[in-house]
Structure 1
């Protein structure tokens, strides 16, 4: 096959030097090819498609050579695929399953039989697409869902268009749900069309192959490139894209973000009526072109075509009326409540029309995708990654509709077929195998002072328990965000600049939190500083600074965050990090101790006020957290050492000795106290104070 290096619509990423290093290891080359294909979202979606290779391996039982297929396992992603994510099966046993197949009515029973074909019983679980690879004769196979190909596959005249582009070198199989029968159809199609380079599955995707990993990779790229080039030549030729622009002169980017941030907490609250959801917002140019078009109502109603798109975006999106969305906020909320209720009823009717006697119970009836002309797209899911990926999948669906409408007429998945995919018993079994959610899954924590010792420890403990975290602070933002994302995933952590004495800066950081995750559930006021001076040496500037940061800061942050919590109507938590000094009158500490006492009482007042909103307000009182704490980096340590007549080096021992337990208090101890207040362990506790000080009798609340 001639080597092609120039592509306009796909990314050619093959590195000959890297491939040479892997030569002789077909599985390593297969994984390399898979990762390259998964790195280009124009070729396939996250966790979409699958790849395979067939090798000769030594049977561990007989010692004889055996043909073994390596294929992406169930639920994997080719962009990050490793050996651990692959299933490997005897090819001859997969073919032997033809003798056990009883027809379309018995498709699901075949999946259990795949386990009896495993070469390595400890490998990843085989997916439903396994026979689609295993029954074909080729050594290397790619099954992808590229937008350009699905645009043709989802076109009314798709088969005719295929022949126009590739002649007799490609074949077509009409839509059918993946399974053993589709594998048999692929096998027969290849046998009856010798010499073809690939197969298009109607409404679904593409199969391509090659004798080597490189030949397969190049064949895949060339077919997708040719499809994309054909679409590009036809855009706007028959009619304007999506029927032309309906909404002219929409708001600019800053205004779109403002509108999105204002409505996101309300949308999130409504989308969370079944279970707490996280949100994602995008105003990608492709999305705006679609939502601002004349064809939006017609095409959105048709839903998606590719099963991978559909499974992550539901039967259809909720489309908002821009005129209704620009009313005063109370009217907008009422309108949204009506639209959500109408969507739920429509979804329930779809379920009732299409269900089978053995169908799983109806799932969450709320929309996953919400389209607001002029503003963009919102998606909601159980975690941030899934919400983001749902947006990517619907953007892929938009690309598909755009291409199909350019060359023919777009056709969505028939309703019954869509239902049978969504409520497939095998998909239900996969959902049931998912790990149990962590205690804070689906929750968003906003932590002031989040890059310091105590604040960062709080962020880490909340992340470890499933929360998404927004760490806001004045410095160390980039390094903290990088570190948290490396440890807990790119979708889980965000940092933002803040000055807790500035209402504008607080509003900006909260807007970033809302746009990133859809809202806020847990507010931790941890920002602070310390000044230890006797009365005569405490200046007015010292006093004002302590009051501004500790008291005014806690007030301003809570005031603005509570607006978001109330808009969501999901309850929530405010946890204020005060100090033992708010209860104990220590020496040389008038400014700091007074401010901490004010924090404590403000917490009690807010608990009394916010209880009817199911917003719990509690306080954690640390003492003497020296290691890693920002406040001990300045003059505070010297001031306290002077007050107690010891050296700075002896402070940790001094503080530990004076406690009842004789223990040093660490930042992690404070973080665990915050966790107890917000993870459901104390769900009926508000207005309380939890001392984490090793046991200081003078600080006992009663």
Structure 2
């Protein structure tokens, strides 16, 4: 359990300030520490270095996110001539006073070596842009002066700590305002957290003032979403698994896209070493996936000797794509991963442009980048990863997704890893908007709106894999004799014609799905067992089921499977108010509880049950099933 004290709380506040600025810290980057004391079980007072733990983000870190390391033990490690990274991680675990604490930052030794109470480290854009230049050493020295120590790039971990330990023998670190590590970032320190923070921000401002402005980018072109879907399929095949795409405009990348030398300056490497984990060493310029894959595999083969022992190859698909027609794209197994790559490359593009306007962008060598990308610690994480969710990297479109069965289907697919395009005429469908949920207000009876929504949604995530038409209307009960024209027409328009439009709009994207497309129509028990007074609903749902069967016939050559679920007596939807349930139960002389279980199995069917079945039918269990109708009704004696 973390013991709170004033110093740790001050470190948390400074850390969060740094972490809240993406020009200083991106997606888990940077680390901070504070020196304090703790009492062990024997009652002895122990000096500790509380260091940011692995898995925590500075923007949201809490006291529990700092690992209490015995300072004397960590400093003893710095005296060693060499220590491999796996052993270093093991030694830091043993140095911790709390076995439940997260693994400490790999740079913990460096934090311990600096004598000040507070140490702050970021990968500030301005700092790495200044150092990542042909004349970076001179520019950095002139910008900061003698009270900022500038060190050459050394791989993070023990080698970096050893470099600092040796250099400290000849330098009084208390005479310095900060330490700049070329290609890597900035350290500041003080015995007061606010002072360390103020110095950090001041040095970053000084570096930023020495840099030119970013040139304006050109206008971003409109993009054909089908072209994105085609590229996504190629990327997914290269990766060996489905990938989602994200497209961004209005960033520094737009200016980069307009340069004639984009194919050269973007291939020099990342802005800072850790970025290769998220973006690979270089982006793909253009859309020749096969050429990029061959280049990446050549890079791995050339440098694999740098890795001692077994090497687990990372898939060769690019994570950043720069193309004059498609613009700035990023790919990932999840929307979050694609967005992380996009965030990082926005900052990378700005750094490249600024450095090119000065002495020229220069960064890590391919060998140095490979050493980070295939670092033994990263390889261990790769091997330890469990299986991804079943629909990771896939995109599902669900209509009627604001509530009821549609919402349950969308949520089941989302929980199984899919990114969801959620359509509904109710604006509430947009309230859940997040990275993996894209709500679009759309009336499925409006053909133009449906076609536009499908294109917009597919363009947002790069394609479409799964389609679940769940939107529908249930007209008020009325006998056939004198059935009103308006509810009849509306039932057909929404339940049948709207479905026809939706299927036609979705088909080109489903045909490009990396794992082949899937459609699951939410039908009704009224198809095999219609009810009196429900002519409009029963007839329209029967027509919709026939449409799905025809689609199964027509789309089988594309590998698209089309199936239908037929729910019945799903009472946790907006159609069923407590009053209506009471009325229906009374009609049958039942309690509401018994009425809900009026089926052979005496089972209560929920929207979530339907959602789970729909998700299962989109999965591998049904890989050889198409044209089927599957009931979920607890068993009906009218059908069985």
**TM-score computed with the length of structure 2 as normaliser:** 0.93
| Aligned partner (choices 462, 466, 483) of residue 538 of structure 1 | 483
Q: Could you list the per-position Cα deviations for residues 46-87 of structure 1 after superposition, in whole angstroms to 9, with x for gaps in the alignment? A: 1111111111121x2331221112222223321122234332
Matched, 1:524 2:502: no
Q: Could you list the per-position Cα deviations for residues 135-154 of structure 1 after superposition, in whole angstroms to 9, with x for gaps in the alignment? A: 22121111111111110121
Let me know the Cα RMSD of the aligned residues.
Answer: 2.5
| Aligned partner (choices 367, 378, 384) of residue 318 of structure 2 | 367
CA displacement at 1:503 relative to structure 2 = 2.7
Of stretches 178-187 and 34-43 in structure 1, the one that deviates more from structure 2 is 178-187
Cα 1:500/1:683, change in 2 over 3 Å: same
Note if contact 1:575-1:620 (Cα within 8 Å) is conserved in structure 2. Answer: yes
Determine the structure 1 residue equivalent to 2:16. 35
In structure 2, stretches of 5+ residues that fail to align are none
Determine the structure 1 residue equivalent to 2:151. 173
Distance across 2 between alignment mates of 1:444 and 1:564: 10
Note if contact 2:405-2:607 (Cα within 8 Å) is conserved in structure 1. Answer: yes
CA displacement at 1:193 relative to structure 2 = 3.4
CA displacement at 1:693 relative to structure 2 = 1.1
In structure 1, stretches of 5+ residues that fail to align are 1-21, 321-335
CA displacement at 1:187 relative to structure 2 = 3.5
Matched, 1:155 2:133: yes
Determine the structure 1 residue equivalent to 2:231. 267
Q: Could you list the per-position Cα deviations for residues 206-229 of structure 1 after superposition, in whole angstroms to 9, with x for gaps in the alignment? A: 111121221111111111111111
Matched, 1:378 2:329: yes
Determine the structure 1 residue equivalent to 2:518. 573
Note if contact 1:288-1:373 (Cα within 8 Å) is conserved in structure 2. Answer: no
Q: Secondary structure at the match of 1:67?
A: strand
| Aligned partner (choices 437, 442, 445) of residue 396 of structure 2 | 445
Distance across 2 between alignment mates of 1:383 and 1:120: 33
Determine the structure 2 residue equivalent to 1:6. none
Determine the structure 1 residue equivalent to 2:575. 631
Matched, 1:646 2:587: yes
Q: Could you list the per-position Cα deviations for residues 172-199 of structure 1 after superposition, in whole angstroms to 9, with x for gaps in the alignment? A: 1111111112112223445533311111
Distance across 2 between alignment mates of 1:360 and 1:293: 37
After superposing on structure 2, the runs of 4+ consecutive aligned residues of structure 1 that deviate more than 4 Å are: 649-655
Distance across 1 between alignment mates of 2:128 and 2:53: 23
Matched, 1:549 2:494: yes
Determine the structure 1 residue equivalent to 2:600. 660
CA displacement at 1:103 relative to structure 2 = 2.4
Determine the structure 1 residue equivalent to 2:405. 454
Q: Could you list the per-position Cα deviations for residues 268-293 of structure 1 after superposition, in whole angstroms to 9, with x for gaps in the alignment? A: 11111121112111013311111112
Of stretches 535-544 and 118-127 in structure 1, the one that deviates more from structure 2 is 535-544
Determine the structure 2 residue equivalent to 1:276. 242
Determine the structure 1 residue equivalent to 2:633. 693
Determine the structure 2 residue equivalent to 1:113. 91
CA displacement at 1:88 relative to structure 2 = 2.2
Determine the structure 1 residue equivalent to 2:74. 94
CA displacement at 1:360 relative to structure 2 = 1.1
Matched, 1:584 2:529: yes
Q: Secondary structure at the match of 1:121?
A: coil
| Aligned partner (choices 235, 256, 278) of residue 312 of structure 1 | 278
- Give runs of aligned pairs for residues 187-202 of structure 1, distance below 5 A: 187-194=165-172, 195-202=175-182
Q: Could you list the per-position Cα deviations for residues 4-28 of structure 1 after superposition, in whole angstroms to 9, with x for gaps in the alignment? A: xxxxxxxxxxxxxxxxxx9952222
Distance across 1 between alignment mates of 2:614 and 2:35: 53
Distance across 2 between alignment mates of 1:297 and 1:670: 50
Matched, 1:342 2:288: no
Note if contact 2:4-2:63 (Cα within 8 Å) is conserved in structure 1. Answer: no
Matched, 1:103 2:82: yes
Note if contact 1:288-1:375 (Cα within 8 Å) is conserved in structure 2. Answer: no
Cα 1:657/1:315, change in 2 over 3 Å: closer
Note if contact 2:401-2:423 (Cα within 8 Å) is conserved in structure 1. Answer: yes
Note if contact 2:430-2:440 (Cα within 8 Å) is conserved in structure 1. Answer: no
Count residues with an aligned counterpart: 631
Note if contact 1:309-1:397 (Cα within 8 Å) is conserved in structure 2. Answer: no
Q: Secondary structure at the match of 2:242?
A: coil
Note if contact 1:618-1:686 (Cα within 8 Å) is conserved in structure 2. Answer: yes
| Aligned partner (choices 351, 361, 364) of residue 410 of structure 1 | 361
Note if contact 2:430-2:441 (Cα within 8 Å) is conserved in structure 1. Answer: no
Note if contact 2:128-2:183 (Cα within 8 Å) is conserved in structure 1. Answer: yes
Note if contact 2:223-2:325 (Cα within 8 Å) is conserved in structure 1. Answer: no
Note if contact 1:500-1:549 (Cα within 8 Å) is conserved in structure 2. Answer: yes
CA displacement at 1:652 relative to structure 2 = 4.7
CA displacement at 1:606 relative to structure 2 = 1.4
Note if contact 1:454-1:670 (Cα within 8 Å) is conserved in structure 2. Answer: yes
CA displacement at 1:397 relative to structure 2 = 1.0
Cα 1:541/1:409, change in 2 over 3 Å: same
Note if contact 2:110-2:161 (Cα within 8 Å) is conserved in structure 1. Answer: yes
Q: Could you list the per-position Cα deviations for residues 557-577 of structure 1 after superposition, in whole angstroms to 9, with x for gaps in the alignment? A: 122112112134430211100
Of stretches 522-531 and 509-518 in structure 1, the one that deviates more from structure 2 is 509-518
| Aligned partner (choices 387, 395, 400) of residue 346 of structure 2 | 395
Note if contact 2:31-2:105 (Cα within 8 Å) is conserved in structure 1. Answer: no
| Aligned partner (choices 137, 142, 152) of residue 120 of structure 2 | 142
| Aligned partner (choices 220, 225, 233) of residue 200 of structure 2 | 220
**TM-score computed with the length of structure 1 as normaliser:** 0.85
Note if contact 2:153-2:181 (Cα within 8 Å) is conserved in structure 1. Answer: yes
Note if contact 1:173-1:202 (Cα within 8 Å) is conserved in structure 2. Answer: yes
